[in-house]
Amino acid sequence: MLDLIWLIPALPLAGFILILLFGRLLGEPKSGILAASMVGASFVVTVAVFFELLSKTTEERHHVLTAFSWMPIGSLHVDLAFLADPLSITMALFVTGIGSLIHLYAIGYMHGDPKFSKFFLYLNLFVFSMLMLVMGENLLVTFLGWEGVGTCSYFLISFWHTRESAATAGKKAFVTNRVGDWGVMMAMFLAFGATGTLSYAGINHAAESGALSAVTATGIAMMLFIGACGKSAQLPLYIWLPDAMEGPTPVSALIHAATMVTAGVFLMTRISPVLSIAYDWAPTVIAVVGVATALFAATVAVAQTDIKKVLAYSTVSQLGFMFLAIGSGAYVAAIFHMVTHAFFKALLFLGSGSVIHGMHHEQDMRKMGALRVLMPITALTFIVGWLAIAGVPPFAGFWSKDEILLFAFAKSPILYVVGMITALLTAYYMTRQVIMVFFGEARWNDHSEENGAHGDFKPHESPKVMLAPLVVLAGLSIVGGALQLPFNHNTKFLEKWLEPVIEFGEKDISGTWADNNKYILLIVAIVVALTGIAVSYLVYSKKKFAAIEPNVMAQGWFYDKGISNFMGGPGRKAFDGITWADRTIVDGAVNGVGKLVQGAGGFLRKGQTGAVRSYAAAVGLGVVALLVWFFVRGVVL
């Protein structure tokens, strides 16, 4: 079975090619079913590989399948190879699993859209790229997938490209990602220069054996972190993610909640040995950026009115938690939170998609309310997701978030406090969202004349093909915590499973104050979550206190606007300056050479008088010169 791991990315690629050739012929819904079954088949293969890996011992869980020698150039030897080890299979499992659920959902969501087949074309291409990313044996295959998911993200965000805001959002995502990609490329150059190879095995081995200097390791880790900031939407490169909500909701669920944005976390975990031998300030920087992003995004989410934007900022915030984990040396916790986050965030996005679908594409939460009566299954699954993300036990989010905060406390209590505040805010704004959408009074008919609704507009429940994935994800959100329960070593399945990959870098906090008092911290986490829920309930349901949603928070602390103004103003002037320099100096130099030659030619042209006498004079001068030469040679020398 392990020899068939190439099937895992190949099946979505086959789906892509088939839809490319026959998409228009197949039409709706056959192209959607084809795409979903391809990803589903890939999931089945992944599960089979998973069980085969399980049957091996811990040391043997590392299988490389080389498809072909990609770049044999001098000393650089890069193969198109796939690596099946615990980390890559974990990633592949939830990419293909959640991917197939979302494909199924999209068949219902995109019903009636004229570009139905094209949507699944891009979706399959995306799953293929993501699988190349996670299953790559070396940095270059991962980078291939990295760029591929960025491109598909662009295609899918600007799917309804006739809408200008969608086209702009797609461009913004691509350009911002590109800034991060520079970091990945620099890291590849550094890695190759220091170790002579781009494969993870080679680089990590160099790090573990001490062949990699701390300086180089810090450089590689920091450069990859810059790439991760771009792809996983951390400060300062998060600005594309809220705008990416212009894409259809399945896109938001798959790409911007479950898979693409986790690529940064995956990459940092892959090179955990390198990060662990870097200078101490490197993980600290990662942790600080992560927790700062988490807090920042949480504050902004509190003031959003668009149902998807709340979830977008929530994603940024949760990704911040994952980077906090990485910075604290808690790679298992980061992966754990990534998996549980994939479950409940995809659930929440798909649920919001169901709401939007039922509300005939209305996305403003102020125009919703009391939807639990008319959309019961959606409401129920959404509530499960809400409880998971808020950190209420025994739902999945509680366990993973608590694990991260434990390690954060061991690194620095300040990080813990900021993380706790963010957790409080998370519970607060998610409760706000649930109340505004599903409870309270029905507000959808208040301004019905404005949105051109026909008189008695009534939201309706979504079709079964959309509800089934919601139910599955809800189930996973409930039991997902069982992967890594902190009680004792026997319950830590994920840690045992991931051990060969992260053992070198994982921090050991046994014996610290945090570890000894982890049950106290557990209780504190529960209390904080419940407090957040309670305060939000009081504000939005009972209306005991006024809602604090200042404009500055709604506008994202004017960070995005600030960048636009800076780039448009001084930034533009700088670029104009560079253009001027290029035109005047560089082009001027090149043109100047031409002008010089022209001038010289024009000057020399004057010598071509056409008159015999001037030519004779020239000959005479030559004779004199020769005579001087001979004279000097004969007499002086």
Q: Using CB under 8 A as the criterion, which residues of the chain lie in contact with another protein when the complex forms?
A: 605, 608-614, 616-617, 620-621, 623-624, 627-628, 630-631, 634-635
CB of 617 to another protein, least distance (A): 5
Q: Which is nearer to another protein, 210 or 602 (CB)?
A: 602
Please report how close the Cβ of residue 616 comes to another protein at its closest, in angstroms: 6
Are the CB atoms for 184 and 133 separated by under 8 Å? no
Structure tokens that stand for 184 in this block: 């990945």
Which of residues 548 and 611 has its CB atom nearest to another protein in the complex?
611
Q: What angle do CA 222, 226, 230 make, to 5 degrees?
A: 160
Choice between 578 and 623, CB closer to another protein: 623
Task: Residue 545: count other Cβ atoms within 10 Å of its Cβ.
Answer: 10
CA angle 366, 369, 371 (to 5 degrees): 140
Q: Which residues pair with 83 in a beta bridge?
A: 64
> 594 or 634: whose CB is closer to another protein?
634
Residue whose CB is less far from another protein, 542 or 613: 613
- Shortest distance (Å) from residue 599 CB to another protein: 15
Min CB(172)–another protein separation in Å: 59
Residue 50 backbone class (left: φ over 0; alpha: ψ -120 to 50; beta: rest): alpha
Q: Could you tell me how many helices (H) and strands (E) the chain has, helices first?
A: 26, 2
Question: What is the closest distance, in whole angstroms, from the C-beta atom of residue 567 to another protein in the complex?
Answer: 54
114 vs 610, beta carbon nearer another protein: 610
Residue owning tokens 């819904």 = 29
Nearer Cβ to another protein (534/619) = 619
Region of residue 370 (phi > 0: left; psi between -120 and 50: alpha; otherwise: beta): left
Tell the smallest beta-carbon distance from residue 72 to another protein (Å).
57
- Comparing CB distances to another protein, the nearer of 548 and 604 is 604
Q: Are 361 and 330 in contact (CB under 8 A)?
A: no
Q: For residue 547, give every residue at least 6 positions away whose Cβ sits within 8 Å of its Cβ, in sequence order, or none.
A: 539, 540
Under a CB-based contact definition with an 8 Å cutoff, are residues 334 and 320 in contact? no
Q: Report yes or no: 258 and 181 within 8 Å, Cβ to Cβ.
A: no
> Residue 403 and residue 493: Cα distance in Å, rounded?
14
The rounded distance, in Å, linking the Cα atoms of 172 and 357 is 26
What is the nearest approach in angstroms of another protein to the Cβ of residue 619? 9
What is the closest distance, in whole angstroms, from the C-beta atom of residue 600 to another protein in the complex? 14
211 versus 632: smaller Cβ distance to another protein: 632
Query: Is the CB of 73 or the CB of 611 nearer to another protein?
Result: 611
Rounded least distance, CB 192 to another protein, Å? 57
8 Å CB contact between 141 and 81 = yes
Q: Residue 625, exposed/middle/buried by CB under 10 A (0-12, 13-18, 19+)?
A: exposed
- Rounded Cα gap, residues 254 and 191, in angstroms: 31
Q: Residue 19 gets which letter from DSSP?
A: H
**452/610 with CB nearer another protein:** 610
Q: How far apart are CA 467 and CA 378, in angstroms?
A: 7
Query: Shortest Cβ distance from residue 633 to another protein (Å)?
Result: 11
Structure-block tokens of residue 556: 């994202």
Distance in Å, CB of 167 to another protein, minimum? 58
Output the smallest distance, CB 621 to another protein, in A.
Answer: 6
Q: Which amino acid is at 379?
A: A
CA dist 391 and 336 (Å) reads 14
* Amino acid at residue number 374: L
Letter string b/e over residues 284-302, b meaning 16 or more CB atoms within 10 A of that residue's CB: ebbbbbbbbbbbbbbbbbb
Residues 6+ apart with CB under 8 A from 499: 58, 86
- Could you give the CA distance from residue 477 to residue 502 in angstroms, rounded to a whole number? 25
Express the helix, strand and coil content of the chain in percent, nearest 5 each. Answer: 75, 5, 20
Paired strand residues for 490: none
Task: State yes or no: cis peptide before 236, omega within 30 of 0.
Answer: yes
Find the shortest distance in angstroms from Cβ 624 to another protein: 4
User: What whole-number distance in Å separates Cα of residue 460 and Cα of residue 343?
Assistant: 25
Q: Which is nearer to another protein, 580 or 629 (CB)?
A: 629
| Amino acid present at 309 | K
Q: What is the DSSP string of 450-503?
A: TTT--SS----PPPHHHHHHHHHHHHHHHHGGGGB-SSSGGGBHHHHHHHHHHT
- Name which of 538 and 624 has its Cβ closer to another protein: 624
Both tokens assigned to 241: 């993610």
Torsion of CA 252, 258, 263, 266, to 10 degrees: 170
Q: Measured from the CB atom, is 25 or 623 closer to another protein? A: 623
Least distance to another protein, CB of residue 618, Å = 9
Q: Give the nearest distance from C-beta 594 to another protein in angstroms.
A: 20
Q: Pick between residue 51 and residue 630 the one whose CB is nearest to another protein.
A: 630
Q: Which is nearer to another protein, 589 or 611 (CB)?
A: 611
**What's the min distance (Å) between Cβ of 593 and another protein?**
22
